[in-house]
Structure 1
């Protein structure tokens, strides 16, 4: 059974979906995992190519390519655990073969070894994009959602100055601070589930990318 994305929940139903929160966690962690994967890929490639003319380069290359396959299996398990990838399709950790040289030859000849390496090189820019989108979207949506409470506390004399009705320099916001706070709250109420839907869509894209680069050759 191929690895597939799970079904998408309803607009507000996404707030009750555990998968939405775990997918968001995956996307927030993706910058750190992307830095690690990119560093591993670039360092391993540099060492393997630099030591290729020496006999020491053979075990270094074998360790690097084997580590690439190990990371690919780990990434697939992470996608299944956090993003919710469904299906039993999973690659072998190492190609089949009798003896070290046969396995090394199969490891080098297997296209999935190199597509997995490409996946890890792409993980850094994608991770930065995911992290930036999620942090920005969460910050904006939660700030708007909390605007009515900030206005209420300010009207009661608490935390005076926390709520500012100056939105983009429009003077009418100062004349109608309560209406402004209410509209901000409605916008935040819509943006919070939209943030989780965006996270699920990005998670589906990551599953698609993993299905084509980590699983299929």
Structure 2
């Protein structure tokens, strides 16, 4: 059974869906995991190529490529646990072969080893994009929702100035507060829906680079 994304919830139903929060957690943490995997990939490649002329270069390169396969297995299980990817399909830890020499040759020639490495190199820019976009949307949505709450509790400042160059805000402060609340109420579910869509994309990427390469 292939690695698939679960069905998408309704617009406001997403706020009560556990998978939306775990997917958001995965995407926010992907910047940290992207930094770690990118550093591992670049350092491993540099060491493997730099030590290629020495005897020690072969075991270093073999350990690096085997570690890449191990990380690919861990990434797929993490996607299944947090993003909710369904299916029993998972990458094999090491390619089949009779004897360690045959397995080593298969590890180097297996396309999945190199596509897994590409996946981990891509995880850094994707993780930065996910983190920046989702944190911006979350903070904006929560800030907009806080406006009517603070206004109701008389804790927030009133609209006494020309906010953002919109003069009618000063003339209709109540309407401005209501619009902020409605915008925040719409933006938060949209943020979680976007997180689920980005999680689907990450599952698709993992399926093609970590499993079906």
State the TM-score, normalized to the length of structure 1.
0.95
Match of 1:8 in 2: 8
Shift of 1:178: 1.6
Q: 2:194 aligns with which of 198, 204, 211?
A: 198
Matches within 5 A, 1:114-193: 114-154=114-154, 159=155, 161=157, 166-193=162-189
Shift of 1:78: 0.4
Match of 1:56 in 2: 56
Match of 2:95 in 1: 95
Conservation of the 8 A alpha-carbon contact between 1:165 and 1:180 = no
Conservation of the 8 A alpha-carbon contact between 2:41 and 2:117 = yes
Q: 2:206 aligns with which of 201, 204, 210?
A: 210
Structure 1: tracts of 5 or more residues without a match: none
Query: Which runs of structure 1 show a deviation greater than 2 angstroms over 4 or more consecutive aligned residues?
Result: 159-167
Conservation of the 8 A alpha-carbon contact between 2:115 and 2:210 = yes
Q: What's the CA shift string for 1:5-28, capped at 9, x where partnerless?
A: 110001011011100000000011
Structure 2: tracts of 5 or more residues without a match: none
Shift of 1:161: 3.1
Matches within 5 A, 1:67-106: 67-106=67-106
Conservation of the 8 A alpha-carbon contact between 2:159 and 2:169 = no
Describe the shift of the 1:177–1:65 C-alpha distance in structure 2 as closer, same or farther (beyond 3 A): same
Q: What's the CA shift string for 1:147-201, capped at 9, x where partnerless?
A: 10121223xxxx3538776532212111221211111000100001000000000
Conservation of the 8 A alpha-carbon contact between 2:148 and 2:177 = yes
- The number of residue pairs the alignment matches comes to 213
Distance 2:45 2:39 in 1: 10
Distance 2:161 2:113 in 1: 55
Match of 1:23 in 2: 23
State the TM-score, normalized to the length of structure 2.
0.96
